[in-house]
């Protein structure tokens, strides 16, 4: 399900209505990328989990808690550093390779402090890194003639792994394990929260967690009874989730429905590239389109709602005259014909003029329906954010 709309259009209200059913009527588990902690405030209870290294209530996540076999290191590396687009593809691949081998080497040593991973990947001296990576495919990066290449790779790693400096050395929480055990966790929810001030730092870490969740979801047994909800509100503001394309296509048969909220098409394209963004949008066949905040998004969503053929009768009148020796005749004629014109079912200007909470719903195999999202005020039962005492 895609829910699009500007700030205040009603996306959160629409998601709230689904989550009320999931929590209070069905007792389903859920994973939620939670901007500002709003869903945690409204829905959280004592059995739930929070992930945010700056929140006092947060679980202590560690990449090492996700490792069962050495090949899991590659999975974590690709979850942390997404595949690049165009010219960045090769550089991101080098960064993935370096992170994979550093994770593997430290895991085999029994050193499970995430900050040590960041140290080796981003700032350790080349000879110290060479000692750690001796005999691995990434060791070539530590050679003196490749110093510039290593610097470029480390720049990429620093971009995506900045939040790792705040991870605890004793972390034992696993996102993959949460997904794997979701059938037996009593309907617990996992809230991945962030404030506006934390967005730029945490967006890549949250994308890592969601990537791991999607990968594990695709490893579950097929089920028509299971419902593990994945909610990605403000998807266009998060980092790239490389497996989301496969997840949106396949997760439903594993009982893992996805809800994605976006504000602008431009931001989604900036994160995923034009082609992958289009693929993601195409995978979400059910769309709730609320008032957009910009012309580009309005134009795109208008085209998503389809076209209609309009028939109009056009009438034209003509007059002829005949002049004789003794008379002057006038003959009038009327011609009518049917004119067919194809136009968008809903124009971009109509979408932008919609009041908040009003929109259009498109589902596969049905017509487009005009809908109103019911506003229901919900009390906050929890603090959306409780600052941790950082050392």
Query: Does residue 385 lie within any of the structural domains?
Result: no
CA 228 distance to own-chain centroid:
16
Mark whether 240 and 130 lie in a shared domain: yes
Query: Does residue 188 lie within any of the structural domains?
Result: yes
Mark whether 268 and 318 lie in a shared domain: no
Flag the least confident range among 79-88, 266-275, 305-314, 337-346: 305-314
**Which pLDDT value is given to residue 11?**
97
What are the pLDDT digits (tens) for 49-93? 999 999 999 999 999 999 999 999 999 999 999 998 877 789 999
299: confidence class by pLDDT, cuts 50, 70, 90: very high
Closest listed residue to residue 276, CA positions, set 89, 115, 30, 98:
89
319: confidence class by pLDDT, cuts 50, 70, 90: low
Mark whether 137 and 220 lie in a shared domain: yes
Mark whether 299 and 332 lie in a shared domain: no
Mean local confidence (pLDDT), 111-118:
97
Helix (H) or strand (E) holding 59: none
Query: Does residue 383 lie within any of the structural domains?
Result: no
**Which pLDDT value is given to residue 277?**
94
306: confidence class by pLDDT, cuts 50, 70, 90: confident
> DSSP letter at 111?
-
Indicate whether 271 pLDDT > 80.
Answer: yes
Q: Which domain holds residue 289?
A: 2-304+348-372
* Percentage of residues of the chain with pLDDT beyond 70: 90
Spell out a b/e string for 82-118, using b for 16 or more CB atoms within 10 Å of the CB, else e: bebeeeeeebbebbbbbbbbbbbbbbeeeebbbebbb
Mark whether 33 and 160 lie in a shared domain: yes
Strand order in the sheet with 229-232: 49-51, 189-194, 30-35, 229-232, 258-262, 2-4, 287-289, 358-362, 368-372
Helix, strand or coil, per DSSP, at residue 371: strand
Neighbours of 177 (CB within 10 A): 16
> What ranges in 184-321 are assigned the alpha helix state H?
199-217, 244-250, 265-272, 274-283, 295-304
Q: How far, in Å, CA of 265 to CA of 280, rounded? A: 11
Tokens matching residue 369: 């329906």
CA distances from residue 239 to 79, 234, 247, 271, 273 in whole angstroms, order as listed: 10, 11, 16, 7, 12
What are the pLDDT digits (tens) for 241-257? 999 999 999 999 999 99
Task: Kindly report the CATH number assigned to the domain that includes residue 166.
Answer: 3.40.50.300
Mark whether 137 and 69 lie in a shared domain: yes
CA distances from residue 169 to 67, 111, 173, 327, 386 in whole angstroms, order as listed: 15, 9, 12, 109, 21
Helix (H) or strand (E) holding 122: helix 114-122
What are the pLDDT digits (tens) for 118-172? 999 999 999 999 999 999 999 999 999 999 999 999 999 999 999 999 999 999 9
**Contact of 259 with 283, CB cutoff 8 Å:** no
**Which pLDDT value is given to residue 201?**
95
Number of domains within the chain: 2
Indicate whether 385 pLDDT > 70.
Answer: yes
Mark whether 176 and 268 lie in a shared domain: yes
Query: Does residue 264 lie within any of the structural domains?
Result: yes
Helix, strand or coil, per DSSP, at residue 252: helix
Instruction: Supply φ then ψ for residue 216, to 5 degrees.
Output: -70, -35
Q: How far, in Å, CA of 205 to CA of 199, rounded? A: 10
> DSSP letter at 21?
I
Mark whether 326 and 235 lie in a shared domain: no
Mark whether 253 and 336 lie in a shared domain: no
The reported pTM is: 0.90
Mark whether 160 and 217 lie in a shared domain: yes
Query: Does residue 389 lie within any of the structural domains?
Result: no
Instruction: Supply φ then ψ for residue 178, to 5 degrees.
Output: -60, -45
| Composition of the chain by helix, strand, coil, percent to 5 | 45, 20, 35
What are the pLDDT digits (tens) for 355-364? 999 999 999 8
Query: Does residue 212 lie within any of the structural domains?
Result: yes
Backbone CA torsion sign across 14, 19, 20, 21:
positive
Mark whether 300 and 213 lie in a shared domain: yes
Query: Does residue 9 lie within any of the structural domains?
Result: yes
Indicate whether 332 pLDDT > 50.
Answer: yes
Query: Does residue 160 lie within any of the structural domains?
Result: yes
Virtual torsion, Cα 219, 221, 223, 226, nearest 10 deg: -70
Mark whether 322 and 271 lie in a shared domain: no
């Amino acid at each position: 399900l895609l829910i699009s709309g500007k700030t205040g259009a009603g996306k959160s209200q629409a998601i709230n209505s689904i989550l009320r059913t999931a929590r209070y009527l069905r007792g389903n588990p859920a994973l939620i990328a939670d901007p500002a902690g709003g869903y945690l405030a409204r829905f959280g209870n004592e059995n739930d989990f929070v992930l945010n290294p700056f929140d006092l209530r947060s679980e202590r996540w560690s990449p090492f808690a996700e490792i069962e076999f050495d090949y899991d290191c590659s999975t974590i590396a690709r979850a942390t550093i997404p595949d690049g687009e165009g010219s960045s593809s090769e550089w991101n691949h080098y960064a993935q390779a370096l992170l994979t081998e550093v994770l593997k080497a430290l895991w085999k040593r029994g050193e499970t402090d995430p900050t040590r991973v960041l140290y080796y990947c981003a700032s350790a001296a080349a000879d110290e890194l060479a000692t750690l990576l001796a005999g691995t495919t990434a060791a070539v990066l530590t050679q003196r003639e490749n110093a510039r290449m290593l610097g470029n790779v480390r720049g990429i790693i620093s971009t995506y792994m900045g939040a790792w400096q705040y991870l605890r050395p004793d972390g034992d929480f696993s996102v993959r394990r949460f997904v794997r055990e979701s059938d037996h966790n009593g309907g617990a929810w996992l809230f991945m929260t962030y404030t506006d001030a934390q967005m730029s730092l945490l967006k890549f870490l949250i994308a890592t967690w969601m990537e791991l969740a999607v990968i594990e979801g695709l490893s579950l047994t097929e089920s028509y009874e299971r419902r593990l909800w994945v909610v990605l509100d403000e998807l266009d503001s998060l980092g790239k989730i490389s497996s989301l394309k496969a997840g949106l296509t396949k997760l439903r048969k594993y009982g893992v429905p996805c809800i994605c909220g976006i504000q602008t098409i431009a931001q989604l394209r900036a994160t995923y590239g034009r082609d992958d963004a289009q693929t993601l949008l195409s995978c979400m066949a059910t769309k709730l389109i609320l008032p957009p905040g910009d012309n580009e998004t309005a134009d795109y969503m208008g085209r998503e709602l389809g076209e209609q053929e309009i028939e109009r009768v056009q009438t034209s009148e003509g007059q002829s005259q005949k002049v004789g020796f003794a008379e002057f005749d006038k003959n009038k004629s009327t011609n009518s014909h049917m004119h067919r014109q194809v136009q968008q079912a809903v124009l971009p200007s109509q979408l932008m003029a919609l009041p908040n909470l009003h929109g259009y719903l498109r589902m596969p195999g049905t017509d487009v329906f005009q809908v109103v999202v019911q506003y229901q005020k919900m009390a906050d039962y929890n603090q959306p954010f409780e600052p941790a005492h950082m050392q």
